A and B are shown apart, each in its own frame.
Chain A
């Protein structure tokens, strides 16, 4: 099944509270912003007011961290209702979450835990995606997470799992290039095989972020600038995917807005170079 999610070209930033004032009072040169959905799934108050005002200036992506699409327990209906209400009000560019799980048996880890790449898990994830998309009344994007554990007994590669998931459910894909780099390093596979293996026609958005080098593993910390290896991988992704909405995602050690805009300018330059190559070809 192909995805029905319209494409969008442009460059954006993850909106964090340190930059609310810049976005509310200034004219920040971005094509869209992305917010963490759960931060705004509240009854009222200043957060919702700020989001409404920023929505008047920019398209907004709702990016969730708590749907737990890989949960063997199914999905939390109360969560879906709150997300639906927020999406209906904000009319987002995309609604996204992660190919991961966080909740089981009344416990919620609040971390993006890895899904085993098995047929059983694929069936479960696809059922959950169909339930989520029905509840929200719109197709979603799902992001490849960073992973630190590869389960024994995997029946397929991560990109094969993602491809099957997208084709069966019609969902879109949010390609996190940093996560590809981190997971490829941690599990010893070729990041380019991942990029070539996912269904390009389903990719609607790209995340770029930084990571930290831990003992033997790369850790997806989002507290660093994008590194050269990830920029290089992004250039490859652009050559394979074309003009896909791209953004910088920083969640910790938030720098002044100007620094993030400088990073976004690098992404723009890579994208423009890719467009020139396409025209020349």
Chain B
């Protein structure tokens, strides 16, 4: 058998567990093939367990295992690093539990904190670099670890309670959608909830880094005076916490 055909049949065996495709390997290969099949599934299950320890604790062993098996069956790994496996586990949770957006949001938090942990290293802006900025023509530079999303539940509260080993927190719907922000400062990945305005501002920055555009977004949401004032507050906070690293000329 040609090498490419052999490897394709081996792949199909690992992904499907269908023994029909392994006959070409000979009967003596059967016990060994079972070892590889077991290794493949155990490794992917272990990968999801490592990536989502708090989600696993929150939904319990049986529900987590069911979701993981569903995910492994539908999503064979494709990347060179196992670290990327499970990035779309939230999609599987959403499909399995459409009435529980808290699960997908909790998974997002765990995954993004992991991504932020190994995001590119950065240096914060210096006061001197900000002293002579022409803010009408300035672009804000977000830290490469910044991840933002809309949130409809208190998944961040649940995550923090689980992290701190507190009694199981109850999931709740938020009164109105807000946002979640993950980023890293120094070696510490951080999480906080953002109100709807900050969430909209951060999402807008992802599309257009201009400070002027940010002001326009906030003015549209809050009115002239309050919008400009909020833009200044947010900028000061983001610079102080390392969400924004600095400013460049537009």
Contact = CB atoms under 8 A, between A and B. Distances in A.
The prevalent SS among residues of A at the interface is loop
Interface in A105-123: 105-111, 113, 116, 118, 120-121
The prevalent SS among residues of B at the interface is helix
Contacts of B124: none
A169 B161 CA distance: 56
Contact of B80 (A48, A73, A103): A103
B39 to A, nearest CB: 5
Given A45-B118, A66-B81, A153-B1, A217 B187 contact: no
B20 interface: no
A78 B77 CA distance: 17
Contact of B31 (A43, A151, A217): A217
A17 B49 CA distance: 17
B78 A106 contact: yes
A44 B80 contact: no
Interface string B96-133: 00000000000000000000011111100000000000
B168 interface: no
A205 interface: no
Contacts of A71: 7
B176 interface: no
B152 interface: no
Interface in A220-263: none
A110 B35 contact: no
A7 B117 CA distance: 36
A124 interface: yes
Contacts of A105: 8, 11
Contacts of B33: 148-149
A23 B20 CA distance: 50
Interface string B13-28: 0110000000001101
Contact-residue size bin, chain A (C-beta under 8 Å from the other chain):
35 or more
B220 interface: no
Given A46-B117, A151-B25, A111 B40 contact: yes
Given A108-B78, A120-B2, A47 B118 contact: yes
B3 interface: yes
Contact of B35 (A44, A46, A72, A217): A217
Given A41-B81, A72-B7, A110 B43 contact: yes
B31 A216 contact: yes
A121 to B, nearest CB: 5
Contacts of B83: 38, 42
Interface string A14-56: 0000000000000000000000001001111111110000000
Contacts of B2: 120
A105 B7 CA distance: 9
**Interface-central residue, A71, A113, A121, by most chain B CB under 10 Å:** A113
Given A71-B7, A107-B76, A121-B3, A45 B15 contact: no
Interface string B58-83: 00000000000000000011111111
A113 B43 contact: no
9 contacts: A38-B82, A49-B121, A72-B7, A106-B78, A107-B15, A108-B77, A111-B43, A116-B1, A148-B32
